[in-house]
Structure 1
Amino acid sequence: MSRVGKHPVALNGAEVTLNGNVVTVKGKLGTLTTAFSDKVTVENKDGQLNVSRVDESRESNALSGTTRAILANMVQGVTAGFEKRLNLVGVGYRAKAENNGLKLELGFSHDVFHAMPEGVTAETPTQTEIVIKGVNKQQVGQVAAEVRAYRPPEPYKGKGVRYTGEVVLLKETKKK
């Protein structure tokens, strides 16, 4: 069996409702619902979620680990939440959170407005720092990737939107 799939998921104060292959996790930050494959079963025993395979197929083995990881992310999302931090590097690059979205000045002739989807919020502690928060890990990561895609770091000066802690290798300029 998958090594990841063997480990139980601690609920940490979250409430879980099992309805066939649909799992709903409810916590202090919100509610997440996901439908899983019929090749795995999810059980709630003693405040822990256990994932087990239905048969011995390779697909069932792979799905047990994936299902367990998704369940762990759901529990963490509704209890603690997820966040991604972005930094703006470049002269005149600014960000401001407004109207359930993010207004970005990235050196274009116009400002870029990125609307936040349901369940995701953006904060700007400083003009060059963006914090994207939410309960769904996939959604938070996707929004962060979309914001970064407006102006990814360029390889010569390193200007652009980058994740906090991201290392951008700078190329050497052309020699005469």
Structure 2
Amino acid sequence: MSRLGKLPVGLPNGVSATVANDTVKVKGPKGELSLVVSSLVTISEAEDKSLVVRPADESTRARAMWGTTRANIASMVKGVSEGFEENLELVGVGYRAAAQGRDLKLSLGFSHEVIYTPRPGITITAPKPTEIKIEGANKQEVGQTAAEIRKYRPPEPYKGKGIRLAGEHVRRKEGKKK
């Protein structure tokens, strides 16, 4: 029995959801998201303006999809109402970031500057030259964008230079000894 799957997904004010066939669409002030749901779960709307997810049968696969589907729908509701954000820090001499329209211009110690163009629905800002703020309604796309930017220069263990998530601890190694 899924403890998480049993909970209904409440819809805050300003957020509406429609269930049609095998698709759930959630619309709110931050945008609109949709999810194609497996046939192993059924979704219904309750009287108190919430969505209820139930397994279609008692198979192991259906019970596994029950909690997962409910969590994905709850994430969509949070995304269209509040949105998600990810913060990155640039550590290193000369490492800089600047927003250039929709694009992000990165100076990371290469012989050239790196220009990153985000996917639709994602906004990137640089409040400081060493900070990057990624915002969007889709949790997966925000995290994927952060991972793609971090991939240009991941933090290295000897000096700690690179692009890291805000608050990320980089395990340092001891250098060469004489």
Per the TM superposition, whether the score is higher than 0.5 is yes
Long gaps (5+) in structure 1: none
Letter of the aligned partner of 1:92 in structure 2?
G
**TM-score between the two structures when normalised by the length of structure 1:** 0.98
User: Could you say which residue in structure 1 is the equivalent of 2:174?
Assistant: 172
Cα distance, 1:99 vs. partner?
A: 2.6
**TM-score between the two structures when normalised by the length of structure 2:** 0.97
User: Could you say which residue in structure 1 is the equivalent of 2:54?
Assistant: 52
1:9-49 CA-partner distances (Å, limit 9, x unpaired): 11112100110110000001110011110000111111111
Letter of the aligned partner of 1:15 in structure 2?
S
Q: Return the alpha-carbon distance in structure 2 between the equivalents of residues 84 and 130 of structure 1.
A: 8
User: Could you say which residue in structure 1 is the equivalent of 2:75?
Assistant: 73
User: Could you say which residue in structure 1 is the equivalent of 2:29?
Assistant: 28
Q: Return the alpha-carbon distance in structure 2 between the equivalents of residues 24 and 137 of structure 1.
A: 15
Q: Superposition pairs for residues 6-155 of structure 1, below 5 Å?
A: 6-13=6-13, 14-45=15-46, 46-155=48-157
Q: Secondary structure at the match of 2:173?
A: coil
RMSD between aligned residues: 0.7
Letter of the aligned partner of 1:5 in structure 2?
G
Letter of the aligned partner of 1:20 in structure 2?
N
| Equivalent residue pairs, number | 176
Q: Return the alpha-carbon distance in structure 2 between the equivalents of residues 149 and 18 of structure 1.
A: 37
Long gaps (5+) in structure 2: none
Cα distance, 1:55 vs. partner?
A: 0.3
Q: Bigger shift: 1-10 or 129-138?
A: 1-10
1:83-131 CA-partner distances (Å, limit 9, x unpaired): 0000000000000111311100000000000101000010110000000
Q: Return the alpha-carbon distance in structure 2 between the equivalents of residues 87 and 100 of structure 1.
A: 19
Q: Secondary structure at the match of 2:124?
A: strand
Q: Return the alpha-carbon distance in structure 1 between the equivalents of residues 18 and 9 of structure 2.
A: 14
Q: Secondary structure at the match of 1:49?
A: strand
Deviating runs (4+, > 4 A) in structure 1? none
Q: Return the alpha-carbon distance in structure 1 between the equivalents of residues 177 and 100 of structure 2.
A: 45
